[in-house]
Structures are given as structure tokens and as C-alpha cells.
Amino acid sequence: MLARDILRRLAALGLGLMLSPLAVAGPLVEIWKDPDCGCCTAWSEHLEAEGFEVRLHETREMRQIKSEQGVPPQLASCHTAVVEGYVIEGHVPAADIHRLLEEDPELAGLAVPGMPHGSPGMETGRVDDYAVYGWHADDRAPEIFQRYIQQ
């Protein structure tokens, strides 16, 4: 009977490890944000709820981070992130990041310029229409990756 109890406990431990967050963690998203920005923290929580692993870096040098990551000035927002080699600028919905990783297009990244109300992390009660843009590392114009139109 003791051996059976040990086997049950080992089996339960194995199942617990298989179901643990470490075993099912999604892609790592590294986020750079200003220490005083609450909407950036809310966006990171949105990503975690959608299965991403998040690592936050707080800095007051956001302009430098955006420049280093090649974010076009017209697409700038409040925070900058990197996931699997793609740059994510601003309040991009997790569903679009999942789609980006699944489709693996030849883009440098995705951006939601500014801080539109109703985008993830910007739930203020007001909801704006906005677009998620994809951009290339060269001088091509950004393209619309996804539109969000309120009805």
C-alpha cells in the first residue's frame, strides 16, 4: 500500500508540473516602459492574461529605446516591447501579436500609434476607432495589419 501511495504522489506531482505556469508559458515579451506609466502596466497584464510571459523594464529613456528598436516616429506610443524578434509599439492587442507570431510576416513590428481609448490597457470607458500598423525595417510605408472600428 505504501508503494501505491508513493506512485500516486509521483503521478500527481508529474501532472502538477505539466499543468504549472512554467510548463505552459507562452512567448516572452520584454517591455520597456516609463516607471510612472499605469497604462503600460495594464497592457502587460492584458498580455499575461492572453498567455504571454512578460518581463518589464522600467526606464526614463524611452526615446532612446524606440530609436534602438527602429520604431518609426509616426508610430510611436508610450511603451515598446520585443517578442521573438518583432518590435511591438503601444497598445497592440494580444490577438494581433499571436497572429503576427503565427503568420511570421516579413515585418519589423506592429504598432498602435498614440494611446487610443478602448485599446488594451486604455480601457477608460470611451472607445475610439484605431488601427494596428505593421512596418518594415526599410523605408516602405507602414501598412494596416488590423482595424478596430466601434459600431
Q: Is the pTM of this model over 0.85?
A: no
Q: List, for residues 34-70, the tens digit of each pLDDT value.
A: 999 999 999 999 999 999 999 999 999 999 999 999 9
Any idea where the domains of the chain sit in the sequence? 26-148
Q: List, for residues 91-133, the tens digit of each pLDDT value.
A: 999 999 999 999 999 999 999 999 999 999 999 999 999 999 9
58 CA to centre of own chain: 16
**Residue 24: predicted pLDDT:** 59
**Residue 151: predicted pLDDT:** 75
Which numeric CATH code is attached to 26-148? Answer: 3.40.30.10
- Is it the case that residue 20 has pLDDT exceeding 90? no
- Is it the case that residue 4 has pLDDT exceeding 60? no
